[in-house]
Structure 1
Amino acid sequence: MLDIKSLHKKYPSGPVALRGVDLTVHEGDLIALIGPSGAGKSTLIRCINRLVEPSSGQILMQGTDICQLNSGALRKARKKIGMIFQEYALVERLSVMENVLSGRLGYVSFYASLTRKFPRADITEALRLLDRVGLSDYIDTRADQLSGGQRQRVGICRALLQQPDFLLIDEPTASLDPKTSREIMRLITELVQERNIAAIINIHEVTLAEMYSKRVVGLKDGQIVYDQAAGGLTNEALTLIYGEEDWEANKTDSDDALHEEVI
C-alpha cells in the first residue's frame, strides 16, 4: 500500500530531519512510530502527505509517487490520506457537526462548501460516526466548548468522513490524561480495524504503542533503528531507540501513575 524509499529531509536553515528512511506499510497495518523528540517522527508523518516537502526519495502510495504529483493531483491524492492532528486543528467557532463535515470539502463543489450544503449521505455518515464515538449529544456544540478528548474524537470523525485508505495520526494523546489517552487509542484501533485501513501513529507513550498497535517502528536521528511486531520491545530495544536509561524503574513509575489516575 505504502512504500517509502530512501526518504531524506533537510530543512533550509536547520538540521537533517530524515536520513534515508525506508518503510513499507501493508493494508490493515497499524504502526506506532516512536522515538525521542527531534528524531524526525512528525516530519516523516507530514512528508507522506507533503505537508512537509521531502528533499529527496520516493513515497509510493499504491504505486503512485506522492513526491512527483503536481498541485491538482496532490489534492486528489490527499482525499484518501486522512490526517488527525495533535492540536486537533478544529475551527473553534464552528459546531461539532460542521467540523466533521469539513472532511468532505474535497468532494463537494465550491458553492456547497461555502453554503455548507452537504449531500444527505454525508450528513448521515457524519451522524453515524459521531454516534460511534459517543458525541451524538454534542452535534450543535461549538468546538471551543469541548474537552481535549472530545476534540480529538471530532478530529477522528472528520478524518474518517474523508473515507481514507490511509490514516496519519500525529501525537493523538499528547495533551490528554492517561485514562482519556487509552480511550482514544482504543477508539482509533477499533475504527481502523473496522474499516481495514492502514495507519501510522506518531506517539510518545511506549506503553500505549505496545498495547494498541500491530507493529512498532523506532526512529532515532532521522533513521529507522527498530521495526518489529508490537509486544517485543525489550530494554535493549528501548536503549537502542532512546539511549541509556533505567527502563524497569520507568516502567514501574508509569504503571503506578496510570493506576493512581484510574483510581
Structure 2
Amino acid sequence: MLTLEGVGKRYPTGDRALSDIDLALPKGQVMALIGPSGAGKSTLIRCVNRLVEPSQGHIRLDGDELTTLSGAGLRRARRSMGMIFQEYALVDRLTVMENVLSGRLGYVGFWRSFFRRYPEQDVREAFRLLERVGLDHALDKRADALSGGQRQRVGIARALLQSPRLLLVDEPTASLDPKTSRQIMRLIRELCAERGLAAIINIHDVALARQFADRIVGLNAGRIVFDGAPSELTSDILTTIYGEEEWDTRVGPEEPAEERSAPPRAFDVALSGAVR
C-alpha cells in the first residue's frame, strides 16, 4: 500500500534528518515508530504527506508517486491521508462538530465550509464518528472547553471524516495521562481494524507501542535500526535504538480483560489535507 524507497531529508543547514529509509506498509497494518528525540520520527511522517519535502527517494501510495505531485494532485493525495497531531490542531473557538466537519474541507471547498454548508451525508457521518469516539454528548461544546483526551478524540474523528486510506499519527499520547493514553491508542487500533486502515504512529511510549502495534520500527539518527514484531523488541535492541539503559521489556501491569485491544497554526494544520 505505502512504500518508501531511499527516502532522505537534509535541511538547508546541512543537518540530515533521514537517511536511506526503505519501508513497505501493507493495508491494515498498524506500525509504531519509536526512537529518541531527534531521531527523525516526525520528519518521516511529514515526508509522507509532504508537509516536509523529502530531499531524495520515492514515496508511493497505492502505486501513485507522491514526491512528484503538486497543486490539485497533491491536494487529492492528501485527502487519502488522515493526520492526527500531538497538539490536536483544533480551532478552539469552533465547536466539536465544526472541528470534525473541517475534515471534509478537501472535498467541499473553503466557501461552503465557511458558511457551514456541508452535504447532509457528511454531517450524518460526523454524527456517527462522534458517537463512535464517545463524544456524541459534546457536539456543541467549544474545543477549548475539552480535556486533552477529548480533544484528541475530536482529532481522530476529523481525520476519519476525510475517508482516508492511511492514518499518520504524530505522538498522540504525549500530553495525556497513562489511562487516557491507553484509551486513545486502543481507539486508534480498533478504528483501523474496523475500517481496514493502515497507520504509522510516532510514539515515545515503548510499552504502548508493544501493546497496540502490529509492527515496530526503531529509528536512530535518521536511520532504521530495527524493524520487526513487538515480541522481538528485546533489551539489546532497545539499547541499540536509545542507548545504554536498564530496560524492562515487559508491557507493564496487565489490563482488565474488557480494556484490551483487538489483535504550526491550528487552522492551517486542520486544513493540511486540503490546501497545502
Fold agreement, TM-score > 0.5: yes
| TM class, shorter-length | over 0.9
Which whole-Å CA distance do the structure 2 matches of 1:207 and 1:148 have between them?
A: 21
Aligned ranges for residues 102-117 of structure 1 at < 5 Å? 102-117=102-117
Give matches, 1:3-152, under 5 Å: 3-13=3-13, 15-152=15-152
Larger displacement relative to structure 2 (112-121 or 177-186): 112-121
- In structure 2, stretches of 5+ residues that fail to align are 256-276
Partners in 1 of 2:176 and 2:156 — Cα distance?
Answer: 15
Question: Unmatched 5+ residue regions in structure 1?
Answer: 259-263
Contact 1:7 1:21 in 2 (8 A): yes
Contact 1:5–1:20 (CA under 8 A) maintained in structure 2: yes
Aligned-partner residue type, residue 80 of structure 2: K
Determine helix, strand or coil for the equivalent of 2:231. Answer: coil
Other-structure match for 1:230: 230
Give the secondary structure class of the aligned counterpart of 2:236.
helix
What is the Cα deviation at residue 232 of structure 1?
Answer: 2.1
Aligned positions of 1:106-255 closer than 5 A: 106-248=106-248, 255=252
What is the identity, as a one-letter code, of the residue corresponding to 1:24?
A
Cα distance in structure 1, aligned partners of 2:91 and 2:62 = 32
**8 A Cα contact 2:207 2:252, kept in partner:** no
Q: Give 1:231 deviation, angstroms.
A: 2.3
Q: What is the identity percentage for the equivalent residue pairs of Structure 1 and Structure 2?
A: 61
How far off is 1:243 after superposition?
1.0
- 1:156-188 per-residue CA deviation (whole Å, 9 max, x = no partner) reads 000000000000000000000000000000000
Offset of residue 255 of structure 1: 4.2
Deviation for aligned residue 1:65? 1.1
CA 1:81 to 1:240, structure 2 compared with 1: closer, same or farther past 3 Å? same
Offset of 1:14 from its aligned partner?
A: 5.0
Q: Is the 8 A contact 2:27 2:198 kept in 1?
A: yes
Residue type of the alignment partner of 1:107: Y
CA apart distance, 1:63: 1.0
Measure, in 1, the Cα distance between the counterparts of 2:181 and 2:110.
37
Q: Deviations over 1:176-235 (max 9, x none)?
A: 000000000000000000000100000000000000010000011101110001222110
- Residues paired across the two proteins, number: 254
Displacement of 1:240: 1.1
Determine the C-alpha separation between the residues in 1 that align with 2:64 and 2:133: 33
Aligned-pair Cα RMSD in Å: 1.4
Instruction: For residues 56-97 of structure 1, give each alpha carbon's deviation from its aligned partner in whole angstroms, at most 9, with x where no partner exists.
Output: 111011111111002221001000000000000000000000
Distance in 1, Cα, partners of 2:139 & 2:10: 42
Runs of 4+ in 1 over 3 A off after TM superposition: none
Looking at structure 2, the residues matched to 41 and 137 of structure 1 have their Cα atoms a distance apart, in angstroms, of 35
In structure 1, the residue corresponding to 2:228 is in which secondary structure? strand
Distance 2:71 2:59 in 1: 16
SS of match in other structure, 2:199: strand
Amino acid at match of 1:241: I
Query: By percentage of residues, which structure has more helix?
Result: 1
State the shift of 1:112 in Å. Answer: 1.2
What SS does the corresponding residue of 2:113 show, helix, strand or coil? helix
User: CA separation in 2, counterparts of 1:100 and 1:224?
Assistant: 35
Shift of 1:111: 2.9
Whether contact under 8 Å (1:211, 1:231) holds in the other structure is no
| Alpha carbons 1:59, 1:65 under 8 Å: kept | yes
User: Following the alignment from structure 2 to structure 1, what is the Cα–Cα distance between the partners of residues 109 and 188?
Assistant: 30
